[in-house]
């Protein structure tokens, strides 16, 4: 399956979504960068507030599901402030490697600072676009992308890029907001997302617009089954979906099959 984002890339003057807005394809990256430049310093505080701390449990689930072992090589795409990278660095040990990457320099700056505060100073940090990862083919045993795929303009291209960078048999884990599995939860979630999130953004981060974009970008992201199909089309196999918190968040795990 090819997403609507990917189809639009092929047409001159094409547009894509930035939240609920349609913008020129070449403009989305700059707009997303502006959002994360704005929220970087308050990113972790807002994550705790928005999820009532549950985002830590979601990340813990990903860490456990990844099954990273000593000596492995791990790439944390859109790794932001380095939560996943820090935990993986403990698991791979001195013989392994963890690379933290993000397209946004401000987020990487926060990640570098927070990792140093925790005593993690030997972890490579790379500014990179998920659609064109600057790593050799078959470089990593495991790749993760946490709450980053929905901000990528061409998600199909990013999935192919991540598949290429994995060793045969290597696994990708995508942690992302998704679609609630019940109508009742969906209605409650909509009220929370479009009323409380922007308010929290204004009061805590002095940025209402970025958190309105967050709510909108979640609604525009592919649902669980669509993303599974996209991963399969990008070269992954044995793809599984794990719904967390009633489908508010989902984890997709797929393996490079070659």
Residue 197 has what DSSP assignment? H
What is the pLDDT, as a whole number, of residue 196? Answer: 85
Identify which of 207, 137, 197, 146 has the alpha carbon closest to the alpha carbon of residue 172.
146
What is the pLDDT, as a whole number, of residue 20? Answer: 65
Is the separation of the CB atoms in 111 and 125 below 8 Å? yes
Please state, in angstroms and rounded to a whole number, the distance separating the CA atoms of residues 133 and 137.
10
What is the pLDDT, as a whole number, of residue 206? Answer: 79
Phi/psi of residue 98, each to 5°?
Answer: -125, 130
CA angle 131, 56, 61 (to 5 degrees): 70
What is the pLDDT, as a whole number, of residue 38? Answer: 63
Q: Which residues contact 129 (CB under 8 A, 6 or more apart)?
A: 29, 103
What is the pLDDT, as a whole number, of residue 186? Answer: 94
Structure tokens at 206: 């002095």
| Strands across the sheet containing 125-127 | 125-127, 97-102, 73-77, 140-146, 166-177, 249-256, 236-244
Global confidence as pTM: 0.86
Please state, in angstroms and rounded to a whole number, the distance separating the CA atoms of residues 178 and 193.
13
Please state, in angstroms and rounded to a whole number, the distance separating the CA atoms of residues 107 and 114.
11
What is the pLDDT, as a whole number, of residue 2? Answer: 41
Q: Which residues contact 183 (CB under 8 A, 6 or more apart)?
A: none
Tell me the mean pLDDT per 10 residues along the chain, length 258.
Answer: 46 68 72 63 68 89 98 96 95 97 91 91 93 97 96 95 98 96 94 86 80 86 97 98 97 94
The stretches of the chain forming alpha helices (DSSP H) are: 4-9, 25-39, 43-51, 55-66, 83-92, 105-117, 155-165, 183-191, 197-204, 208-220, 224-233
What is the pLDDT, as a whole number, of residue 220? Answer: 87
């Amino acid at each position: 399956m090819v997403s609507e984002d990917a189809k639009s890339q092929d047409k001159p003057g094409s547009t894509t979504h930035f939240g609920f807005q349609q913008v020129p394809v070449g403009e989305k990256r700059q707009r997303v960068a502006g959002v994360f430049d704005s929220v970087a310093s308050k990113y972790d505080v807002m994550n705790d507030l928005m999820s009532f701390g549950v985002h830590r449990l979601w990340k813990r689930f990903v860490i456990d599901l990844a099954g990273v072992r000593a000596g492995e090589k791990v790439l944390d795409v859109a790794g932001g402030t380095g939560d996943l990278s820090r935990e993986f660095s403990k698991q791979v040990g001195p013989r392994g490697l963890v690379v933290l990457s993000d397209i946004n320099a401000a987020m990487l700056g926060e990640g570098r600072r927070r990792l140093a505060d925790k005593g993690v100073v030997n972890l490579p940090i790379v500014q990179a676009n998920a659609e064109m990862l600057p790593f050799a083919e078959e470089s990593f045993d495991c790749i993760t992308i946490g709450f980053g795929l929905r901000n990528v303009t061409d998600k199909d291209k990013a999935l192919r890029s991540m598949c290429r960078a994995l060793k045969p048999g290597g696994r990708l884990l995508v942690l992302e907001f998704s679609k609630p599995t019940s109508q009742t939860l969906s209605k409650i979630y909509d009220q929370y997302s479009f009323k409380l999130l922007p308010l929290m953004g204004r009061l805590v981060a002095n940025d209402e617009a970025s958190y309105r974009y967050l709510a909108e970008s979640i609604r525009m992201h592919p649902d669980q089954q669509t993303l599974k199909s996209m991963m399969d089309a990008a070269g992954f196999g044995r793809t599984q979906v794990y719904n967390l918190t009633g489908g508010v968040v989902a984890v997709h795990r797929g393996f490079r099959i070659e």
